[in-house]
Structure 1
Amino acid sequence: MKYVNATAKLPASLLTEIQKYVQGETIYIPKQEQNQKKWGSDSGARKRLDERNANIKSQFQTGSTIDQLAADYYLSVETIKKIIYKK
């Protein structure tokens, strides 16, 4: 997250109003909910995890054991169980 000087982005009247509540402090202004992106959507990490999890489920259905999958994917047995049994 980068910091931007409020004087560069906000009109003077709004800046004056904000200064009634906060002066010289850093505040975080979140994005509006409809503009927020889900985790991993930009980097593709979510897609890769979804593909990995689909592969794990498929391999389990074709006979791989939970212990084998945990070793193959370097995950704990409990994590493999969560992936397999998640609806």
Structure 2
Amino acid sequence: MGCQNPIDLLPKELLEQIQKYVDGKTIYIPKKSENRKHWGDNTDTKQFLASRNCQICSDYQDGMSIKQLAEKYYLSEKSIQRIIKQNNL
């Protein structure tokens, strides 16, 4: 994202209003919230993690220990405990 000259982007009246508050300063104007993407929106990561977590819970209900799950999924025991707790098991 590069800087753009506000003289080329904003009406003169609006630029003058902004200068009353931030004359000579650099500011960032964020996108509207409805245009913002959330974490994982551009990839399959959310779906992958949800599927993995579901499988972890299923394995736990089938009798696998926390330690076994941690080894199988290459996660810490704390992470396995958190996933199980989030799924109310």
Fold match (TM-score > 0.5): yes
Q: How many residues align?
A: 86
Identity of aligned residues (%): 44
With the length of structure 1 as denominator, give the TM-score of the two structures. 0.76
Cα distance, 1:86–1:29 mapped onto 2, change above 3 Å: same
Distance (Å, rounded) in 2 between the aligned partners of 1:38 and 1:16: 34
Distance (Å, rounded) in 1 between the aligned partners of 2:50 and 2:60: 15
RMSD between aligned residues: 2.0
With the length of structure 2 as denominator, give the TM-score of the two structures. 0.75
Choose 1 or 2 for highest CA Rg.
Answer: 2
Q: Is the 1:40–1:46 contact (alpha carbons within 8 Å) kept by the matching residues of 2?
A: yes
Structure 2: gaps (5+ residues): none
Question: Which letter maps to 2:68?
Answer: Q
1:85 aligns with 2:52: no
Deviation track 1:30-59 (CA, whole Å, cap 9, x = no partner) reads 233333322111123222221221121122
Structure 1: gaps (5+ residues): none
